[in-house]
Structure 1
Amino acid sequence: MYRVWNFIASYSLFLIGGAVLALAWANVNAESYHHFVDFVLIDNFFIGHLHDDGHGHVTRVLTLHYLVNDVLMAFFFGIAAKEVWEAVILENGSLRGKKAATPLFATLGGMLGPITVYLGLAMVMGSETYNAVANGWAIPTATDIAFSYLVGRMVFGAGHPAVRFLLLLAIADDAGGLLILAIFYPSGALAPEWLLLSLGAAISVFVVFNWLPRRLDRGDQLRTRSTWVRKHLSFWPYLIAGCLSWYGFQESGLHPALGLLPIVPTIPHADRAFGLFADAERHLHDLLNEIEHALKIPVELILGLFGLLNAGVVMSSMDSATWLVLAGLLIGKPVGIFLFGWVAARPLGLGIPEGMRIIDLVVIGCVAAIGFTVALFVASVAFDAGPVQDAAKMGALFSFFGAAISIAVGKLLRVQKKPV
């Protein structure tokens, strides 16, 4: 039923390859690596990093790093937003109803736990350390949905209800992560009036190319106007609206990688979803799913470039931020998920899926501690380039050891694997 390996091969092998190459390159020749990352594509452009020439003249410079992290990664976050949107809005969405209550509580614990551990330990280390690393509090809240799902299946087996619980938690974690990035990590001085451009683009494309054709087709079983729009215009109106929305985010000071989020809900979608990693998803041919299918190969390459441009840190850069990120993920995640999941399941009486034990929440927490992709991204926006950012990225990369810890804890707690 599930195409997990295909998904991992598609979305993760390029990412891993890029990250490994970046680590090797940075440790062999750090100077040439950083020259490559910061390579200027276009100077004095309308998109890119803000640059002050020292004489009060501010321009934008498009570097390779900006192109990947701020422009192309918008497609990755757009796909994440698509999964969250379907999980929330569709009648059979996985984050709707009582079945989602306990995973949502556990997700909250899986975010508050790491924050508490990260900031708490930073305070214990002293004010100097705390001031240096405090802005990275969101890094250990991340969960890498693809890697976590793969490890979860290895630990529990494909048929175990804990795997679906983990998937719901990971999707909710993505939603929380998008909100955190939008609210707490602006890319520059805030100019919220520019968000009117994003809002206007979203409303316009929805009304003109989605709502209006459907309204005019009322009583028309052939859906003549909607079919014409779909056949002749396809995704182009939404791409144009996406570009306008992205530009609005850049100019507003919000991170532009989130610029497609207002557009995703405007795209016509099916009235049901089979869930992330479900083989049946490829048989859905609504415009939203077809756009996701079309983005598959580009996003593979984008993630490979993201790994190459963000994971290049020298091994000697390990510092307090490294251990704080790891502690937040490997301690805060399991403790937070277990405590909040237990409160939801027992005192609040919301329960857990049949066939799953309360103690399984600990294992789920260990699996969810694999931050990797999103943790790397947050580290790149939480800190300016330099030693603290590099140290935090090392923590994000080392979170991959959560896989081995999850397997060991699963055996220790005697998880019974359940095949499909």
Structure 2
Amino acid sequence: MTRPLPTRRPHVTDAPRRRASLFARRSWGETSRISAILRKETVGGAFLLAGALLALIWSNSPWSDGYGALRDLRFGPAALHLDLSLATWAADGLLAIFFFVAGLELKREFVAGDLRDPRRAAVPVAAAAGGVLVPAVLYSLIADGDAAQGWAIPTATDIAFALAVLAVVGRFLPAALRTFLLTLAVVDDLLAIVIIAVFYTSDLAVGPLLGALVPLAVFALLVRRRVRSWWLLLPLAAATWVLVHESGVHATVAGVLLAFTVPVLRSQAAGGPDAGPGLAEHFEHRFRPLSAGVAVPVFAFLSAGVTVGGLAGLATALTDRAAIGVVVGLVLGKPVGIMLATWLVSRFTRADLDEGLNWLDVLGLALLGGIGFTVSLLIGELAFGLGSARDGHVKVAVLTGSLVAAILATVILRGRSRLYRRVYEAENVDLDRDGVPDVYQPEPGRPDGR
């Protein structure tokens, strides 16, 4: 006996529902844009996994000393306090590119994307907040003493890793659900950078921080005037990064600050919003391949290498209270926080899941939120010190928790994706061959196409 398909999702000719809907279909323009981002992040996720596996193999091989020597290799101008190890350059420099791209995506979503509607934005924002709060609380209940300073480690979701898993096991999930995970992860990263700036800044030098406002302001002025010349913008961005680094605030904050200055919409003089993509989208297209294909994989390669020491070493690492807190936070805290926040939004706004969707779909995505790789490793290094024994335990815990979360999400989403496959194929029929599936075509009197 064949299993029944989910309830048919509504066509544009259906009568409008009276109640609000969670995860309703997006506009075609936003759906196609998000699909393109997902494809790029999927490739980046494959590179990230390759880098992490290579680091683990090398650091547990007879040639592990070579890996440690490479990671500790120092270079840079000492006069600017930039005589840093290769691992620090990756964490402070390359991840600034990652956060620059994340900042561009977040700003575009809330200025020109479908999330400019507060009702649509409430769900991923609340879910991201719940996915930060609950893991932090669970970690704090488990870990005490010196381990308590790692409370923020299980609060982050890795965009590339999570989307790579989703692309493999959830290809036919409705586009709104996949967009939900992307937006949640981006907001999650913004919250993570705020946590890093506020809670993991030990010595704040106000002078360099104020000085960073000068190149940042000039950068903002130039991009507002639609200047794209790299020989003008790159030195200003580098100066901003150096001064933020000198201030004691983690240098990745500079990436977010720079991204927030970039305009999303074209000015009226340039033809207005309908004249084509704005500068934020232009920069995103340029820098996303660099972020997904180079910055994040290299950071993963230089951070994920930890000597496990066989089963005995693994057992020792996972009995550390900090490690237990990380695993519980990622595997249990993340999905509980995301699910609880989403349910509360549904409860207080009296919104139902869109027709054909199931809370099991949301649970699968919430479990993917427990894949906390890149930023979790970064916060672990900031909390306990790169190369410390506890940092090694935390890395084992992050890898273990992320793997368990990915497996649990795969079990749920593979089955759901099979059910949605025929619905997906039916929705993406393009009878008039204009490049836009008919389900997104507007009907007379309803220009939004929904």
TM-score using structure 1 length = 0.79
What is residue 396 of structure 2 aligned with on the other side? 394
Partner amino acid for 1:363?
Answer: G
* Residue deviations 1:209-262 (CA, integer Å, cap 9, x gap): 244x5xxxxxxxxxxxx6xx55xxx23333222112112211211001222222
Match of 2:410 in 1: 407
Change (3 A) 1:304 1:162: closer
**Shift of the alpha carbon at 1:405?**
0.4
Q: Hey, what's the Cα distance between the residues in 2 that align with 1:105 and 1:405?
A: 23
User: How many residue pairs were aligned?
Assistant: 370
Query: Of the candidates 250, 253, 277, which is equivalent to residue 248 of structure 2?
Result: 253
Distance in 2 of aligned mates of 1:111 and 1:83: 20
Listed as ranges, the matches of 1:135-284 within 5 Å are 135-153=149-167, 154-155=169-170, 157-159=172-174, 161-186=176-201, 188-207=202-221, 209-211=222-224, 213=225, 229-230=227-228, 234-270=229-265
Task: Give 1:145's aligned amino acid.
Answer: I
Determine the structure 2 residue equivalent to 1:33: 67
Q: Residues 365 and 71 (structure 1 numbering): CA distance in 2 closer, same or farther, change over 3 Å?
A: same
User: Does the CA-based 8 Å contact 1:185-1:382 persist in structure 2?
Assistant: yes
Paired residue for 2:381? 380
What is the CA deviation profile of residues 352-383 of structure 1, one whole-angstrom value per residue up to 9, with x for unaligned ones?
A: 44443344332221121111122222222221
Could you tell me which residue of structure 1 aligns to residue 47 of structure 2? 14
Moved more, 64-73 or 2-11: 2-11
Aligned to 2:93: 71
Instruction: Name the structure 1 match of 2:57.
Output: 24
For 2:147 and 2:205, how far apart are their aligned partners in 1?
A: 26
What is residue 310 of structure 1 aligned with on the other side?
Answer: 303
Question: Contact conserved, 2:107 with 2:260, CA < 8 A, in 1?
Answer: yes
Q: CA RMSD in A?
A: 2.8
Encode CA deviations 1:91-121: one digit per residue, 9 max, x unaligned.
Answer: x352642012122222221111111111112
SS of the counterpart of 2:357?
coil
Contact 2:170 2:417 in 1 (8 A): no
CA shift in 2, pair 1:176/1:96, >3 Å: farther
C-alpha separation between the residues in 2 aligned to 1:254 and 1:27?
33
Structure 1 residue 194, shift from structure 2 partner:
2.1
Listed as ranges, the gaps of 5+ residues in structure 2 are: 1-31, 268-274, 429-450
Map 1:32-51 → 2, pairs under 5 A: 32-42=66-76, 44-48=78-82
**Closer, same or farther: CA 145–35 of 1 in aligned 2, 3 Å:** same
Counterpart of 2:420 in 1: which secondary structure? coil
Return the offset for 1:287: 3.4
Identity in percent: 29
Give, in angstroms, the shift of residue 12 of structure 1.
Answer: 2.1
What amino acid is the match of 1:106? A
Q: Which runs of 5+ in 1 are unaligned?
A: 49-60, 123-129, 214-225, 273-282
Contact 1:344/1:351 (8 A) holds in 2:
no
Equivalent residues in 2 for 1:82-97 (5 A)? 82-90=104-112, 92-94=113-115, 96-97=117-118
Distance 1:22 1:256 in 2: 24
TM-score normalized by the length of structure 2? 0.74
- Equivalent residue number for residue 58 of structure 1: none
- Rounded Cα–Cα distance in structure 2 between residues aligned with 1:307 and 1:64: 12
Deviation of the 1:160 alpha carbon: 5.3
Q: CA deviation at 1:392?
A: 0.8
Aligned 8 A contact 1:326 1:396 in 2: yes
Contact 1:322–1:391 (CA under 8 A) maintained in structure 2: yes
Distance (Å, rounded) in 2 between the aligned partners of 1:396 and 1:168 = 22
Q: Secondary structure at the match of 2:255?
A: coil
